[in-house]
Amino acid sequence: MTYYIVVPGDYGPRERMITSTALLIRERGARATSLDAILAHSGAPRGSIYHHFPGGREQLLREATAFAGEYVARRLRGNDGDDPLAVIDRLVGEYRANLLATDFRAGCPVVAVAVESAEDGPDLRDQVVGAFERWRQLLARRFVAAGIKTDRSGELALLAIAAFEGALILSRAYRDLTPLETIRREIHELVRAELAVTEEAAP
Amino acid sequence: MTYYIVVPGDYGPRERMITSTALLIRERGARATSLDAILAHSGAPRGSIYHHFPGGREQLLREATAFAGEYVARRLRGNDGDDPLAVIDRLVGEYRANLLATDFRAGCPVVAVAVESAEDGPDLRDQVVGAFERWRQLLARRFVAAGIKTDRSGELALLAIAAFEGALILSRAYRDLTPLETIRREIHELVRAELAVTEEAAP
């Protein structure tokens, strides 16, 4: 058996397997993402799976979901002064680029796991909820920082995440960017309207 | 081999198999919905599959997607005078009831097929797009009938379908009705605001 030493920052077989799992899930769903497919995609040797992931496929799915959660979170995080509209554009722009680069095959891995997870263990569901909730909170924080009230920021963030995920599914199915572009504009409008209300109410 | 005569209105094995497929897909996804599971769920005899569905599992998935598309379409269709807000409440209310009745296991079968369909044939994708597009058009027609401009109605309907599907995924994962309830209120607000604009602009 070959052993690999994984050091922080090292893009070793462990990281490659997690990335491959997320990339496969976003195209074909979790159920169809077999260990064989992950090995073939990552180029990792078979013996390395249980070395790096003693929990096997279930652990790989969990870590890939966490990876995808962090991937989106990075796009939503930022500095307090960041324009919330620019943050939304960054997220939508990233997924628009992914759709175009994959001939409309790439959706959101977290949604794919969520849709199939009724049969899966609670740990995997926790990862899914953790990712959605983290995105919602990061986006809400952007809205609060821009001056929108806390409660309203939470609602708007929830709507934005729901509409984004729904539109990504539609754009992928239609093979057309219109759904994503439409919800991007609608969320812009809603946030702008809310900011205008906030400014009117300012002393 | 046992043969069944399926007459219109007869809830025979053919219909039972299609319904079972849709019910299984909405909980576990398309990939995990095997012919064995469909037979067990519907109680149909094994020999009846290829009698009723010469195209096998792929045909069953297609017909179940079409069935789910029609199921939602019935909730969105109505009379021209119907309040568009009541139509949205009917749809959300139906899925809220489904979530509660299944301990948050039941999502949307069309979304489940859409998320996993990158690997599937174009016929299945056509059914998915057909369902989404039909819902969008039915909802847009409600908005137009209520007095909202055609272009704006189309955008609002797209946002509503995307937000509804996204929120259904979130509510199911969170095991909490808040996401569905939040988007219901947000869509109400948007439609009301649009109707107010329409009334102001009326001669």
Distance from CA of A114 to the nearest CA of B (A): 6
**pLDDT, one tens digit for every residue, chain A (203 residues):** 333 344 445 578 899 999 999 999 999 888 889 999 999 999 998 888 999 999 999 999 999 999 999 999 998 987 666 799 999 999 999 999 999 999 999 999 999 999 986 666 778 899 999 999 999 999 999 999 999 999 999 999 999 999 999 999 999 999 999 999 999 999 999 999 999 887 777 66
A27 interaction partners in chain B (CB closer than 8 Å): 118-119
Which B positions 33-92 lie with beta carbon below 8 A of chain A?
A: none
- The nearest alpha carbon in chain A to B103 belongs to A118
Asked if ipTM goes beyond 0.85, one says yes
pLDDT digits (tens, 9 = 90+) for B183-195: 999 999 999 999 9
Ranges of H-type helices in chain A: 13-28, 35-42, 48-52, 56-76, 84-101, 109-116, 122-145, 150-174, 178-201
**Exposure string (b/e) for B83-122, b if CB count within 10 Å is 16 or more?**
ebbebbeebbeebbebbeeeebbbbbbbbbbbbbbbebee
Report the C-alpha gap between B85 and B109 in whole angstroms: 24
Per the listing, tokens 């959660």 go with A69
**Contact state of A29 with B29 under an 8 Å Cβ cutoff:** yes
Say if CB A31 and CB A116 are below 8 A apart.
yes
Gap between the Cα atoms of A163 and B133, Å rounded:
16
Q: Enumerate residues 6+ apart whose C-beta is below 8 A from A167.
A: A179, A180, A182, A183, B158, B162, B166
Amino acid at A130: G
Distances (CA, A) of A144 to A46, A164, B90, B152: 48, 20, 33, 29
Helix (H) or strand (E) holding B43, with range, is none
Quick check: A113 and A127 in contact, CB under 8 A?
yes
Nearest Cα to B186, choosing from A171, A129, A194? Answer: A194
- φ/ψ region of B104 (left if φ > 0, alpha if ψ in -120 to 50, else beta) reads left
Cβ-Cβ contacts under 8 Å, A61 against chain B: none
| CA closest to B168 among chain A residues | A162
Long-range pairs for B40-48: beta carbons < 8 A, 24 or more residues apart: B42/B13, B42/B16, B42/B17, B43/B16, B44/B13, B44/B16, B44/B17, B44/B20, B45/B2, B45/B13, B47/B1, B47/B2, B48/B2, B48/B4, B48/B13, B48/B14, B48/B17
Q: Nearest-CA neighbor of B89 among B195, B189, B184? A: B184
Residues B37-60 have pLDDT tens digits of 999 999 999 888 999 999 999 999
What are the CA-CA distances from residue B23 to residues A70, A178, B10, B64 (Å)?
32, 30, 19, 9
**Strand residue runs (E) in B43-96:** none
Domain spans, chain A = 65-201
Q: What is the pTM of this model?
A: 0.91
Residues from chain B contacting residue A105 (CB–CB below 8 Å): 118
Pick B32's closest partner by Cβ from A31, A128, A185: A31
Q: Is A159 within 8 Å of B172 when comparing Cβ atoms?
A: no
Nearest Cα to Cα of residue A46 among A2, A80, A11: A2
Angle between helices B122-145 and B150-174 (to 10 degrees): 120
**Who among A29, A174, A182 is closest to B129 (CB)?**
A174
Residue A179 with chain B: CB contacts under 8 Å: 158, 162
Question: Which residues of chain B does A162 touch, with a Cβ-Cβ cutoff of 8 Å?
Answer: 162-164, 166-167, 169-170, 179, 182-183
Cα–Cα distance measured from residue B153 to residue B158, given in angstroms and rounded to the nearest whole number: 9
Q: In the structure encoding, which two tokens stand for residue B79, read together?
A: 């009379």
Residue A120 has a pLDDT of 66
CATH superfamily, with its number, for domain B68-201: Tetracycline Repressor, domain 2 (1.10.357.10)
Amino acid at A21: T
Chain A 94-113, residues with CB within 8 Å of chain B CB atoms: 105, 107, 111-112
Contact B116 A112 (CB under 8 A): yes
Overall fold of domain A65-201: Tetracycline Repressor; domain 2 (1.10.357)
Residues 6+ away with beta carbon under 8 Å from A199: A147
Contact between residue A69 and residue A47 where contact means Cβ atoms under 8 Å apart: no
Per-residue pLDDT of chain B (203 residues; tens, 9 = 90+): 333 344 445 578 899 999 999 999 999 888 889 999 999 999 999 888 999 999 999 999 999 999 999 999 998 987 666 799 999 999 999 999 999 999 999 999 999 999 986 666 778 899 999 999 999 999 999 999 999 999 999 999 999 999 999 999 999 999 999 999 999 999 999 999 999 887 777 66
